[in-house]
A and B are shown apart, each in its own frame.
Chain A
Amino acid sequence: MKKFLAVLLLAACLAPFAFAADIAPFVDASWLEANLSNPRLVILDMRAPGDYKAGHVPGASSVLGSTIYVAKGELKNEVPEADDLSDVLQAAGVKADSIIVVVEADGSRIAWATRVAWTLKYAGLANVGILDGGYKAWLAAGKPVSTDITLKKGDYTVKKYVYAYFADKAYVLKASKAQIVDARSYDSYFGLARQAFVAQAGHFPGAFSLPYNWITTPEGMVRPKAELEAMAAKLGLNPKTETIVYCDSGVLCTSWWWVFSEVLGWTNVRSFDGSSQVLTADATLKAADPAVKYVTHTWR
């Protein structure tokens, strides 16, 4: 096994991210600094407006997370309507060929960063990356800080979403061969803790548990690709099988979507926007099908 891991590590070091995009799924502060003068670069600062005003990566645009994952009635964290999302992206300076870097506060916010990045991919943008470790890592690396407010005008219009990245309740119930991954904490998975807006404790029967915060080290940096790959492999996940990731309300699940799809290159991965809030809900959320019965205190 040791040897196997060593080979994996070696492979990870040699192979650059093998994708068509002009940016890696995670970039570090040095890469970002070196690319600041690239006219195609658009930096989306997702922190609170007050934090942005106090200082940010030079040239970054301020974007509110809650305009990218929006409330729709009782549902939290839904994908916005295409016209609203177009407005937000244009106001941030996004064009079709932009190289976009998502900046969150720090590594503990990784899932909020991946939720934004996933939404941009879902909205058809090709070149999207995330600043590893967030703004905290930028500061820690001693990189320059600006208080100038950037107003760029973009022209990207969301015409259609990439449905292959998306799953809803009906899809999950039909996908009997798919491997389902639960990205929440162990406590939620086992049913020891529950968010008020999720009707039942526990998890989707048969789901694998992969907590979102395992992606980062305690320092908040993304773990090496080989380690992430090993986590999935040892759990028994097959890269070739259709994979659907869910969580409570559609944020945390995008973290493993981003790792599987963008870092590891799996080609059939979907993120379930409505997640447990919809799966476990009764008719009040207009869920046509009856609630899924969750299981507790057990693996899978």
Chain B
Amino acid sequence: MKRPSDDPASCASCHGGIAKTYKLSLHYSTAGMKSGVRPRFSAAEAKTYDAAVFEQSCRSCHASCGDCHVKSPVVSGVNLGLMAGHKFVRKDESKTCALCHGGRVYPEFTGEYGGNPDVHYQKGMSCVDCHKGSELHASLGAQADRRSVPDKPSCAACHPAGSEKTDKAKEAHADHGDKVSCSACHASSSYRGCASCHLGEGATSSPQFVIGENPRKPGQITTLRLVPTVRDTFKKAGIAQGNYDALPNFWDTVPHNTRKRTDRTRDCGSCHAEQANFLSEEGLPSGGSEANKRLIFKFSY
């Protein structure tokens, strides 16, 4: 057997609860790769996508129990082998999460991309201090996409309003409430965005920093990430994406490079005067979705 723990059933006899719910998780179903593009397709296209693209291409990235607990997953030929002999480990983020999320999140978190390390990494925290077993096992039920994961971490749960030590922080938070996301002020530097994804050829990734309307939370501005689906991404599979303009090309993201002080916490004028890094007409990808325009934020004054 290549991946003995690929089938959760092999663990089910003893970890029945986890094995059952894990199948509902995004890591197992990779449903996020379905829900993230589905609305761009006609009904017929959606069928082709499910059979020809999703099952063939996307599903192959799913995580087995062992990818987080037994054997480091093999990614781009890097194989770190068994962790802690052949025993099960509860967690070992630098050998598990890091390999699959090594293109973006992990190196952002540790500062290896040359940016500033996340303050939580600095304080000795790692992935599982925020992303609990229950989130990753889908213990609370089926996960359709990242947004609807019920026990995903939230900044405010650990840093409730009113707990600030300084007036400066208290006032900045009180002035903005839910109108500006935590990341819009506390993401320290550029994070990875992708462009020009073509089926079978991959996408190009480059650093970016974009602030605009949150497509999933109207009335809030946040950090946005360019996600790679372009008009002809699925051309090879015969999918024209008839409803391409239904979804924007930018999605809200929480860059894992949080710092207490950033260009924006130091200078309110960075947003209020210069609107630095704000999404603008000129910043839209050419040939992109019409829906991108809705994400451009302008101050009313």
Contact = CB atoms under 8 A, between A and B. Distances in A.
B121 A49 contact: yes
Interface in A31-85: 49-50, 52-53, 62, 64, 66-67, 70-71, 73, 76, 81, 83-84
A258 B121 CA distance: 29
Contacts, number: 33
15 contacts: A50-B94, A52-B124, A64-B121, A67-B117, A67-B122, A71-B111, A71-B114, A71-B116, A71-B189, A76-B114, A84-B260, A84-B261, A87-B260, A91-B123, A149-B124
B39 interface: no
A62 B124 CA distance: 8
Contacts of B117: 64, 66-67
B288 interface: no
Given A76-B114, A83-B261, 17 more contacts: A49-B121, A50-B94, A53-B124, A62-B124, A64-B117, A64-B121, A64-B122, A66-B111, A67-B116, A67-B117, A70-B116, A71-B114, A71-B115, A81-B261, A84-B260, A84-B261, A87-B260
A4 B115 CA distance: 49
Contacts of A66: 111, 116-117
A238 B111 CA distance: 40
A66 B261 CA distance: 15
Interface in B94-128: 94, 111, 114-117, 121-124, 126
A83 B259 CA distance: 13
A73 B261 CA distance: 14
Nearest to B123: A91
Contacts of A83: 261
A91 B94 CA distance: 24
Interface string A84-120: 1001000100000000000000000000000000000
Interface string A152-178: 000000000000000000000000000
Nearest to B111: A66
Interface of A: 49-50, 52-53, 62, 64, 66-67, 70-71, 73, 76, 81, 83-84, 87, 91, 149
A237 to B, nearest CB: 33
Interface of B: 94, 111, 114-117, 121-124, 126, 189, 260-261
B248 to A, nearest CB: 28
A181 B231 CA distance: 55
Which of B117, B126, B189 has the most A CB atoms < 10 Å from its CB? B117
Contacts of A84: 260-261
Contacts of B260: 84, 87
Nearest to A70: B116
Contacts of A64: 111, 117, 121-122
A149 to B, nearest CB: 7
Contacts of B115: 71
B215 to A, nearest CB: 28
B263 to A, nearest CB: 9
Contacts of B111: 64, 66, 71
A87 to B, nearest CB: 7
Contacts of B121: 49, 64
Q: What 6 pairs across the A-B complex have the smallest Cβ distances?
A: A66-B111, A64-B122, A66-B117, A49-B124, A71-B115, A71-B114
A81 B266 CA distance: 11
B221 to A, nearest CB: 22
A14 B77 CA distance: 57
Contacts of B261: 81, 83-84
A154 to B, nearest CB: 15
A114 B189 CA distance: 26
Contacts of B123: 91
A106 to B, nearest CB: 20
Nearest to A75: B114
Nearest to B114: A71
A275 to B, nearest CB: 16
Contacts of A53: 124
A71 B257 CA distance: 12
B259 to A, nearest CB: 8
A244 B84 CA distance: 49
Contacts of A73: 189
A52 B121 CA distance: 13
A221 B124 CA distance: 29
A67 B258 CA distance: 13
